[in-house]
Amino acid sequence: MSPNVTEKTSTGMQPNVEGLLCYLVGFVTGIVFMVIEKESKFVRFHAMQSIFVSGGLFVAQIILGFVPYIGWVISILLSLLGLILWIVLMMKAYQGELYKLPVIGDIAEKQIQN
């Protein structure tokens, strides 16, 4: 699903730009856009997916930080995966694509419908 170019957003920005910004600072900008965006389901989806993805990675990094050696190695690999995922999600949102991650995308979609 790509956003309609005439789709209204609460901020007046283009939906694809808002979608990209949802991922920019992780769950922080995801929360900001969930609060301010009332009209665009496209933006709200990306905001919710950003909250779940970056929040989950953040919690995993904290937990792995307490596990000596192997936890630290996994944490570094997870950071690399997170960086790649962050770039891909921002690109997909900017291209106007409703890119759903497995499991997390479905949960995010259900949350915005409530």
C-alpha dist (Å) from residue 3 to 14, 44, 67, 94? 9, 12, 43, 10
Which segments in the chain show pLDDT lower than 50? none
Chain centroid to CA 27: how far? 7
Neighbours of 4 (CB within 10 A): 11
Domain assignments of the chain as residue spans, ordered by start:
15-113
The pTM of this model reads: 0.88
Chain centroid to CA 45: how far? 8
pLDDT reported for residue 7: 76
Distance CA 62, CA 77 (A): 14
With tokens 């291209």, the residue in question is: 95
pLDDT reported for residue 2: 57
